[in-house]
């Protein structure tokens, strides 16, 4: 193999790469937060018996689960142009991730809610708790334990999938890597460093998530 | 008429179908290879000692924690730099299969470990030897238990195969991208692409959930 | 006093209570026996307003349980209930299980709630389990926790719905002993039960439910050992 590695070029650009990593985290966190809010609404709509809401929620969930993330990003970036809506790369990737996160989390929330036996509700009621207290102290805390790990996985997935920003010229970690390597032609070096950074980011997220869960949830279920 | 852009026509059918076929081909290949490799690795991990386990675990962890798109770019650049440039289809198949293996091996490992020891003891008490126990008891029971998860991974591979377009493989999404730049009709083309993925994925994912529900009872 | 007056209750087309009338005086222990589907558990749920009724009235201390104007959450504070499945709260320790309702429903201070919870847990013999999570305990211990949790609300009445039916045989005794203890202390209790020995020895009166009506009610020893109604005789000969 005749390829010679030149790492200096990469290290000189480290601030830019770190900035890209920051944008990656930024878009993933935002996509997660917005996804959670929408998923709560969709889950309520799906469990509700009112037909129109239920249909909208089901259509959303199934589209998000059964089409590729890249398709969602293209839809947001190119497809919406047909309606005169032109999104920036950042907003396009963000909205695609929010769309998919919301779809997957809806099922997570619904499953978590339905996994709490209804007897927990009647037992709490028999102690004189009102409905708000039952949810606040009994149902939601138990639900949170059950959806915590799927939510962590969804967050990691968002971080990895935000790398698709490379394809629409977004300046997150992958896009930044792409731009820098095209200026220097040190493709391997730049992408190896990017790979390591992704690995570190996901590991840090997983470790802090498990530390947090130990602090939040003392009991086992 | 603008001479630069020509609208979508029936003449494009062949082009689109090639994209469809390429998506199906690389997905099926990656699912088959990923399943076989994942089965082997999953079994080794369920059987072996801590050290081997950690070694495999670390490697698989990297495959699961680095975005697929980065893996694709890295691999095709690497083989190029090493002087053995690969066709995008071959490079894409290798990366996608290994990526699939990383997830499949976890699925199968949990399946093997879910088979209760008591069942294996029962099999041994009937006079089966180690390999007979594996073949007749652990494999069938373990595999049945993980079918829904296996289907879930397979479906995500079909969707992730769209990413192989970055190294130049003409799968469905790249085909449509080229059509979009020629016709300037992004919405129609993309909706068509979306429907294609949906038609493949939706029945399978519904079936997976159905099986999961049935097994839960 | 709990007064049940001509109560009817249906699930869809199925009428499970067909006009039940019954008074339980303060300090009395009443056991309800009967086959499955006889409506005995449903009656407990109706007394606690967890299930609605379709006809008749249930009065607890001059309060009409099913009236629209009744604050049911407030009413349930004086009616403790223990279920067949113990329904402990798995995310809370034993102590937190028992202290939660006094704190958030009765708005006690944390210290006060914990003090009461500790007292009731010791009462049922769980004094050494405060910081354990319920899923780590046996069914019998979890059922005693459920009793302590209900007692911590200082209820005037206790409703027991087949509290030993889901337990392994060797764990039934410890729970029955706890019920016996409460009966001796003068608690007003309605126990739906399959334990005929318990019904005979501990309760003042026994009611036999058959297909949604009370087929026989009377002094405990008499109903169990010398039933007058042929239906009761048939039932008792089968469960023995």
- Compute the count of residue pairs across chains A and B with CB atoms less than 8 Å apart: 102
Residues from A in contact with B at Cβ < 8 Å: 1-3, 62-63, 65-71, 74-75, 78-79, 81-83, 156, 160-161, 163-164, 166-167, 174, 177, 187-188, 191-192, 194-195, 198-199, 202-203
> Could you read off the pLDDT of A33-87 as tens digits, one per residue?
999 999 999 999 998 877 888 999 999 999 999 999 999 999 999 888 888 889 9
* CB atoms A164 and B69 under 8 Å: yes
Chain B partners within 8 Å of A79 (Cβ): 186-187, 190-191
Chains meeting C at 3+ CB pairs closer than 8 A?
A: A
Strand, coil or helix: A172: coil
Q: Nearest residue of A to residue C86 by CA position? A: A123
Token pair recorded at residue A2: 């005749």
- The answer for residues whose C-beta is within 8 angstroms of residue A7's C-beta and 6 or more apart is A189
- Residue B3 pLDDT more than 60? no
The CA distances from residue C99 to A7, C110, C153, C189, in Å, are 62, 8, 9, 22
Nearest beta carbon to residue C101 from set A117, A127, A218 = A127
Indicate the residue of C74, C85, C153 with minimum beta-carbon distance to A119.
C85
**Helices B13-47/B88-114 angle, 10° precision:** 40
How many H-runs (helices) and E-runs (strands) does chain A carry? 10, 0
> What are the chain A neighbours of C85 within 8 Å (beta carbons)?
119
Distance CA C47, CA C23 (A): 12
Query: What is the phi/psi pair of residue C219, to 5°?
Result: -60, 140
**pLDDT at residue A50, as a whole number:** 79
Length, in residues, of chain C? 240
Mean of the per-residue pLDDT values of chain A: 92
Contacting residues of C for A138, CB less than 8 Å apart: 89
Q: Considering only residues 20 to 59 of chain A, which have any Cβ-Cβ distance to chain C shorter than 8 Å?
A: none
- Report whether pLDDT(B55) > 90: no
* Alpha-carbon distance values, C21 to C5, C24, C162, C166, C210 (Å): 4, 10, 21, 29, 14
A133 touches A70 (CB < 8 A): no
Quick check: A77 and A168 in contact, CB under 8 A? yes
Residue C23's pLDDT is 94
Of A119, A128, A221, the CB nearest to C91: A221
Q: What is the DSSP string of B58-106?
A: HHHHHHHHS-HHHHHHHHHHHHHHTT----HHHHHHHHHHHHHHHHHHH
The percent of residues above 70 in pLDDT, for chain C, comes to 100
Predicted local distance difference test score (pLDDT) of residue A58: 93
| Four-CA torsion A155, A158, A159, A165, nearest 10 degrees | -160
Instruction: Give chain A's domains with CATH numbers.
Output: 17-117+154-209 (1.10.3720.10)
Average pLDDT over residues B195-214: 90
Name the neighbours of B, counting chains with at least 3 Cβ pairs within 8 A. A
Number of C-beta neighbours around residue B50 at 10 A: 8
Q: Which of C20, C25, C26, C28 is nearest to C4 (CA)?
A: C20
A144-173 mean pLDDT: 94
Give pLDDT, residue B13: 81
B144-171: buried (b, 16+ CB within 10 Å) or exposed (e) per residue?
A: ebbbbbbbbbbbbbbbbbbbbbbbebbb
Q: Tell me, what's the pLDDT at A2?
A: 65
Residue A14 backbone phi and psi in degrees, to 5 = -55, -45
Q: Name the A residues in 144-203 with CB < 8 Å from any C CB.
A: 145
Per-residue pLDDT tens digits for A103-142: 999 999 999 999 999 999 999 999 999 999 999 999 999 9
Contact A122 C83 (CB under 8 A): yes
A111 CA: distance to closest CA in chain B (Å): 12
If we measure between CA atoms, which residue out of A188, A191, A189 comes closest to residue A175?
Answer: A191
Sort A83 into a burial class: Cβ within 10 Å, 0-12 / 13-18 / 19+: exposed
Q: Which of C83, C18, C72, C77 is nearest to C50 (CA)?
A: C72
pLDDT in tens, chain C (240 residues): 999 999 999 998 899 999 999 999 999 999 999 988 888 999 999 999 999 999 999 999 989 999 999 999 999 999 999 999 889 999 999 999 999 999 999 999 999 999 999 999 999 999 999 999 999 999 999 999 999 999 999 999 999 999 998 888 889 999 999 999 999 999 999 999 999 999 999 999 999 999 999 999 999 999 999 999 999 999 999 886
- Do C91 and A219 make contact, defined as CB atoms within 8 angstroms? yes
- Measured between beta carbons, the chain B residues lying within 8 angstroms of A160 are 65-68
Mutation for testing the B interface, residue in A1, A79, A186 having most B CBs under 10 Å: A79
Residues 6+ apart with CB under 8 A from A118: none
Give the pLDDT mean for B88-111. Answer: 94
Question: Under an 8 A CB cutoff, do A126 and C150 touch?
Answer: yes
Of B62, B73, B165, the CB nearest to A191: B73
Cβ of B159 and A67 within 8 Å? yes
CB pairs under 8 A between A and C: 73
Residue B2 pLDDT exceeds 60: no
What sign does the dihedral A30-A31-A34-A37 (CA atoms) show?
Answer: negative
Residue-level pLDDT at B1:
44
Cβ–Cβ below 8 Å for A128 and C83: no
A 10 A CB-CB count for B140 gives: 11
Task: Say if the Cβ atoms of B162 and A198 lie within 8 Å.
Answer: no
Instruction: Write down the pLDDT at residue C36.
Output: 84
**Which chain A residue is nearest to residue C98, measuring alpha carbons?**
A127
Interatomic CA distance for residues C125 and C141, integer angstroms: 9
Judge whether B131 and B63 are in contact, CB under 8 Å.
Answer: no
Tell me the C-alpha distance between A155 and A24, whole Å: 12
| Structure confidence at residue A1 (pLDDT) | 54
Strand partners, C81: C159
Q: What angle do CA C19, C20, C26 make, to 5 degrees?
A: 155
Residue B203: pLDDT above 60?
yes
Query: What residue of A is the nearest CA neighbor of C131?
Result: A219
Residue in the block written with tokens 């113990």: C86
Rounded to whole angstroms, the Cα distance separating B172 from B195 reads 12
Q: Which domains does chain B have, with CATH numbers?
A: 13-216 (1.10.3720.10)
Tokens of A175: 């896009």
For residue A129, what is the DSSP state? -
- Please check whether residue C137 is in contact with residue C145, taking contact to mean a CB–CB distance below 8 angstroms: yes
Q: Which residues contact C43 (CB under 8 A, 6 or more apart)?
A: C4, C7, C17, C20, C32, C192, C209
Contact A127 C87 (CB under 8 A): no
A127–chain C Cβ distance below 8 A for any pair: yes
Q: Which residues of C touch A (CB under 8 A)?
A: 45, 48, 50, 73-74, 76-77, 79-81, 83, 85, 87, 89-93, 100-101, 104-106, 133, 135, 146, 149-150, 153
What are B17-25's contacts with CB under 8 Å, separation 24+? B18/B170, B18/B175, B19/B170, B19/B171, B19/B172, B19/B173, B19/B174, B19/B175, B19/B176, B20/B172, B20/B196, B22/B89, B22/B169, B22/B170, B22/B171, B22/B172, B22/B175, B23/B158, B23/B161, B23/B162, B23/B171, B23/B172, B23/B173
State how far residue A95 is from chain B, nearest Cα, in angstroms.
16
**Cα dihedral sign, C25-C28-C29-C34:** negative
User: Given an 8 Å threshold on Cβ–Cβ distance, is A142 in contact with C85?
Assistant: no
pLDDT, position B4: 63
The chains in contact with chain A, meaning 3 or more Cβ pairs closer than 8 Å, are B, C
Q: Check if the beta carbon of residue B154 is closer than 8 Å to that of residue A49.
A: no
What average pLDDT does the structure give for chain C? 92
Nearest-neighbour CA in chain A from C122: distance (Å): 19
């Amino acid at each position: 193999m005749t390829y010679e590695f030149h790492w200096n070029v990469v290290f000189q650009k480290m601030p830019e790469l770190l900035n890209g990593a920051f944008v990656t985290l930024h878009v993933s966190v935002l996509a997660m937060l917005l996804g959670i809010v929408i998923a709560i609404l969709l889950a309520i709509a799906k469990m509700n018996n009112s037909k129109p809401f239920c249909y909208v929620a089901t259509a959303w969930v199934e589209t998000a689960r059964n089409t590729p993330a890249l398709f969602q990003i293209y839809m947001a970036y190119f497809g919406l142009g047909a309606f005169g809506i032109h999104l920036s790369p950042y907003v396009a990737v963000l909205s695609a991730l929010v769309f998919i996160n919301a779809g997957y989390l809806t099922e997570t929330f619904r499953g978590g809610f339905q996994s709490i036996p209804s007897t927990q509700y009647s037992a709490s009621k028999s102690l004189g708790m009102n409905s708000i207290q039952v949810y606040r102290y009994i149902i939601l805390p138990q639900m949170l334990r059950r959806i915590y790990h799927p939510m962590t996985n969804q967050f990691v997935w968002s971080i990895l999938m935000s790398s698709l920003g490379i394809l629409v010229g977004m300046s997150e970690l992958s896009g930044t890597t792409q731009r820098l390597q095209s200026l220097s032609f040190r493709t391997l070096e730049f992408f190896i460093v990017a790979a390591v950074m992704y690995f570190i980011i996901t590991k840090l997220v997983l470790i802090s998530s498990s530390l947090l869960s130990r602090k939040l949830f003392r009991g086992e279920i | 008429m603008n001479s630069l852009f020509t609208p979508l026509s029936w003449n494009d059918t062949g082009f689109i179908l090639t994209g469809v076929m390429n998506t199906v081909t690389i997905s099926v290949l990656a699912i088959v290879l990923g399943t076989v490799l994942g089965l082997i690795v999953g079994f080794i991990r369920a059987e072996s000692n801590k050290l081997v386990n950690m070694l495999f675990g670390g490697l698989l962890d990297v495959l699961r924690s680095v975005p697929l798109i980065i893996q694709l770019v890295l691999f095709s650049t690497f083989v190029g730099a090493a002087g053995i440039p690969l066709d995008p289809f071959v490079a894409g198949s290798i990366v996608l299969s290994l990526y699939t293996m990383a997830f499949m091996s976890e699925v199968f490992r949990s399946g093997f470990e879910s088979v209760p020891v008591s069942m294996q003891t029962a099999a041994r008490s009937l006079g089966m030897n180690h390999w007979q126990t594996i073949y007749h008891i652990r494999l069938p029971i373990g595999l049945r238990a993980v079918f829904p998860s296996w289907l879930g991974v397979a479906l995500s591979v079909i969707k992730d195969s769209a990413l192989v377009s970055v190294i130049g493989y003409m799968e469905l999404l790249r085909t449509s991208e080229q059509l979009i730049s020629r016709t300037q009709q992004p919405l129609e083309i993309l909706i068509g692409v979306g429907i294609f993925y949906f038609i493949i994925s939706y029945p399978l994912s519904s079936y997976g959930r159905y099986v999961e529900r049935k097994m839960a009872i | 006093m709990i007064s049940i007056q001509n109560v009817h209750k249906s699930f869809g087309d199925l009428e499970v209570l067909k006009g039940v009338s019954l008074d339980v005086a303060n300090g009395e222990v009443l056991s309800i026996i009967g086959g499955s589907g006889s409506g005995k558990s449903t009656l407990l749920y109706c007394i606690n307003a967890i299930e609605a009724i379709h006809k008749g009235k249930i009065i607890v201390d001059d309060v009409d349980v099913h009236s629209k104007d009744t604050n049911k959450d407030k009413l349930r504070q004086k009616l403790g209930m223990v279920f067949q499945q113990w329904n402990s709260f798995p995310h809370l320790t034993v102590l937190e299980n028992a202290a939660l309702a006094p704190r958030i429903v009765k708005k006690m201070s944390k210290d006060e709630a914990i003090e009461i919870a500790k007292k009731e847990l010791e009462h049922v013999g769980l004094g050494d389990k405060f910081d354990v999570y319920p899923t780590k305990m046996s069914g019998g211990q979890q059922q005693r926790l459920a009793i302590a949790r209900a007692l911590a609300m200082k209820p005037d009445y206790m409703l027991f719905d087949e509290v030993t039916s889901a337990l392994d045989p060797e764990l039934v005794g410890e729970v029955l002993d706890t019920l016996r203890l409460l009966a001796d202390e003068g608690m007003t209790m309605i126990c739906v039960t399959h334990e005929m020995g318990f019904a005979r020895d501990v309760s003042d009166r026994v009611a036999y439910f058959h297909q949604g009506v009370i087929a026989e009610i009377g002094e405990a020893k008499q109903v169990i050992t010398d039933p007058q109604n042929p239906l009761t005789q048939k039932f008792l000969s089968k469960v023995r």
